[in-house]
A and B are shown apart, each in its own frame.
Chain A
Amino acid sequence: MTPDRVSFRLPTPRGLGYSFNRVGRIGLAVILFWAVVAVFGTWLTPYPVGKIVDSDYFSPMSGSFWMGSDYLGRDMLSRIIMGAHYTVGIALTSVTLACTAGVIFGMIAAVIGGWFDTILSRLLDAFNGIPSLLFGLVVVAAVGSSIPVLVLTLATIYAPGAYRFARALAVNVNTMDFVTVARARGERTPYLILHEILPNILGPVLADLGLRFVFIVLVLSGLSFLGLGVQPPNADWGALVRENIEGLSLGAPAVIFPSIAIASLTISVNMFIDNLPTRIRDRSE
């Protein structure tokens, strides 16, 4: 045991009764970095996002253009910061909508059971049977692409999965004796859901939210890459790759950096979820 090394770190999760390994910490750090960039990005861009500032296009990394310039000669760093705003913003809004709706309905279905559960579950299972990118394509074909449409479409795609996941968890918790005790006490459904079930499924639900966030980032990037996502002059990271795809054969940073941005975000979310802080269960009183 090396307690001195523990006290060396600043706010240790261990102090709160959690252990958290290095891979998970790196993941969390990258996620936080992109979150800060997405929120405060507007004040961080070195050049105006839409302005052509470089005389050359697909120029390499340099002192004035840290990430080179794009196919029109715009500053890539500024555009990636803007891309973070859209990619993280849209994905986060969609995943929050999807998971909130899914989890609430999942818990209600588990607690009430009966016809409500059967019909809702069957219906959403059927909906789950539609490939996600495909559904996005059809909707975009029908209504055209805009940010609210993207958010709602992505949320609709992932809500049934969140419902299914939360319901399965809630059904397990619902069979536990403490829920039966609360029911025998005479408690109503809202109390059962909020106080007995939700706190016990929150951990897995948050992990699931993270995974769904990754999927949404991937589908959003895919749609944008096909030109059906975020529309010019705005661009998310997927759209940035599409715009600059011709720079690929030149090895231009304009196509490499948005790709790295996407990969770093999604990989670190996965890393974080695979290595979540675990509660230290042994009691040493």
Chain B
Amino acid sequence: MPASLNLYALIAQRLGIALITLVIVSFAVFFATELLPGDVAQILLGQAATPQAVAGLREAMGLNQPAIYRFLHWLVGLASGDLGISYVNNMPVAKLIGDRLVNSLKLAGVTTLFAVPIALGLGIGAAMWRGSIFDRVVSMLTISVISVPEFMVATLAVLIFAVWLGWLPALSYGADVSSWATVLRAYAMPVITLGFVISAQMIRMTRAAVIETINTSYVEMALLKGASRRRMVLRHALPNALGPIANAVALSLSYLVGGVIIVETIFNYPGVAKLMVDAVSTRDLPLIQSCAMIFCVSHLTLITLADLIAILANPRLRHR
């Protein structure tokens, strides 16, 4: 490794890459929505509008300016917190998103809190007792959950917990939030569904990462020193699998971003994803762009975070 690549340089490099990626992603989001067919002014005014009215609106919305100029204008707006005005109800997008974002973050937070410890425990356990009944059951379950669409997991959850058992309400929001028990009941269905989906991925990736380190010479060496299986995995394999595990967690959590779209729709949960799906049906471009950017930024943050953890967990880089 060249001497110039020290720890700080590497971290700075990763942050730089994240920033460049963000610009490219926003470019893609902007042009995917703005430059594709369909004149916005025409759509907003409907087919019956006079050409003059359309031209006037185009002028007013700044649509006659070069695309690259509008992109930069939009980007500067984003950076300063100005997300633009919704086409549909003329409200500032930031205001529309505000509460919804808090709701989405709550859902993601509660899911993470439950799913991550369970998934890591099961993944590491499956790796530790590889080939056992426990491992095979966990593997079979995870492969099944990964293989079915989120809406089926959600549907099954509704079928079991709400329809057959009648324990939980099928819809989450608007329910009574006065006591702990009711809040728990309100969040339960979406959290269970999302939890299943992201844990399955996390378990698989964690298991693979730990097994890979178990197969190294230094873990065999620990065995030849008389270490127990537990010690081999927890002391020797796990610390060296930290980077890949962080990556697994980040990738799975970032999947929350995609999976949440389906889950929020099914459970009618008023989060950003539901807002975006509604915006898609009304073709409210500024709203779509902003929601898309929120998802992309959170995805990118998670991935970059995992990257940084992997760098910090590498003893070769930490102790030079």
A contacts, CB < 8 Å to B? 122-123, 125-127, 129-135, 137-144, 214, 218, 221-222, 225-226, 228, 238, 241, 245, 248-249, 255, 259, 262-263, 266-267, 269-271, 274
Residues of chain A within 8 A of B177, CB atoms compared:
none
CB of A129 within 8 A of CB of B159, answer no
Enumerate chain B residues within 8 angstroms of A133, measured Cβ to Cβ: 258-259, 261-262
Q: Is the CB of A271 within 8 A of B143?
A: yes
Q: Number of contacts between A and B (CB, 8 Å)?
A: 127
User: Given A130-B299, A139-B36, A263-B148, does the pair A125, B276 have CB atoms closer than 8 Å?
Assistant: no
- Can you list 8 residue pairs at the A/B interface with Cβ under 8 Å? A126-B21, A130-B29, A137-B277, A138-B292, A142-B37, A143-B37, A222-B151, A270-B146
Q: How far is the CB of B166 from chain A (nearest CB, A)?
A: 12
Q: Flag B275-287 by CB within 8 Å of A: 1 or 0 each.
A: 0110110010100
Q: In the bound complex, how far is the Cα of B258 from the Cα of A218, in angstroms?
A: 12
Asked if A142 meets B25 with Cβ closer than 8 Å, knowing A241-B151, A263-B148, the reply is no
A-B complex: 7 closest residue pairs judged by Cβ atoms: A266-B147, A142-B36, A126-B24, A126-B21, A131-B258, A141-B280, A267-B147
Known contacts A228-B280, A238-B149; is A134 also within 8 Å of B38 by CB? no
CB distance from B318 to the nearest CB of A (A): 25
Task: Tell me which residues across on chain B come within 8 A of A221, comparing CB atoms.
Answer: 149, 151
A138 contacts B147, CB within 8 Å?
Answer: no
CB distance from B80 to the nearest CB of A (A): 23
Query: Cβ of B147 and Cβ of A126 under 8 Å apart?
Result: no
State the Cβ distance, B100 to closest chain A Cβ, in Å.
Answer: 15
Please, which residues of chain B bring their CB within 8 A of the CB of A238?
A: 149, 151
Interface string of B7-20 (1 = CB under 8 A from A): 00000000001001
Tell me whether A267 and B143 are in contact in the complex, defined as CB-CB below 8 angstroms, given that A131-B258, A138-B29 are known contacts: yes
Main secondary structure on chain B at its contact with chain A?
Answer: helix
**Which of A126, A137, A248, A270 is the one whose CB lies under 8 Å from B276?**
A137
Known A127-B24, A143-B38, A267-B143; contact A222-B149, beta-carbon cutoff 8 A = yes
- Does A129 lie within 8 Å of B25, measured CB to CB? yes
Is the CB–CB distance between B33 and A138 below 8 Å?
A: yes
Give every chain B residue within 8 A of A263 (Cβ-Cβ).
144, 147-148, 152
Contact A262 B148 (CB under 8 A): yes
Closest residue to A237 on the B side, CB-wise? B149
CA distance A228 to B147 in the complex (A): 21
In the bound complex, do residue A266 and residue B148 qualify as a contact, i.e. CB atoms below 8 Å apart? yes
> Known contacts being A141-B33, A143-B36, is A126 close to B20, with CB within 8 Å?
yes
**CB closest chain-B residue, reference A214:** B147
- The smallest C-beta distance from A253 to any residue of chain B, in angstroms, reads 14
Point out the residue from B255, B276, B283, B303 that lies within 8 Å of A129, measured CB to CB.
B303
Do B33 and A131 have beta carbons less than 8 Å apart? Answer: no
| Proximity string of chain B (23-46) to chain A, C-beta cutoff 8 Å, 1 when within and 0 when not | 011001100110011100000000
Tell me whether A262 and B262 are in contact (CB under 8 A). no
With an 8 Å Cβ cutoff, the count of chain B residues facing the other chain is: 46
Q: Tell me the complex Cα distance, A107–B13, Å.
A: 26
Known: A142-B33, A143-B36, A270-B146. A132 touches B151 (CB 8 A): no
Report the minimal beta-carbon distance from A250 to chain B, rounded to whole angstroms: 10
Q: Which residues of A contact B24 (CB under 8 A)?
A: 123, 126-127
Q: Provide the bound-state CA to CA distance between A129 and B20, in Å.
A: 12
Chain A residue at smallest Cβ distance from B146: A270
- Report B-chain residues with C-beta under 8 Å of the C-beta of A138: 29, 32-33, 280, 288, 292
Contacts of B152 in A (CB 8 A): 241, 259, 262-263
A249 to B164, CA, bound (A): 9
Q: Does B189 contact A (CB under 8 A)?
A: no
B261 touches A137 (CB 8 A): yes
In the assembled complex, B223 has its CB within 8 A of some CB on chain A: no
Closest to B254 in A: A131
CB B261 to nearest CB in A, in angstroms, measures: 5
Contacting residues, chain A, for B36 (C-beta < 8 A): 139, 142-143
Q: Least Cβ distance of B286 to chain A in Å?
A: 12
Q: Least Cβ distance of B284 to chain A in Å?
A: 9
Q: How far is the CB of B269 from chain A (nearest CB, A)?
A: 14
Question: Which residue of A has the minimal Cβ distance to B291?
Answer: A134
CB of A131 within 8 A of CB of B299, answer yes
7 extra interchain contacts, Cβ-Cβ under 8 A, other than A141-B285, A238-B151?
A: A126-B24, A131-B257, A138-B29, A143-B38, A225-B151, A263-B147, A263-B152
Interface string of B282-306 (1 = CB under 8 A from A): 0101001000100110011001000
A contact residues around B283 at 8 Å (CB): 141
Q: How far is the CB of B320 from chain A (nearest CB, A)?
A: 26
> Which of B25, B32, B144 meets A126, CB within 8 Å?
B25
Residue from the list A137, A144, A225 in contact with B149, Cβ < 8 A: A225
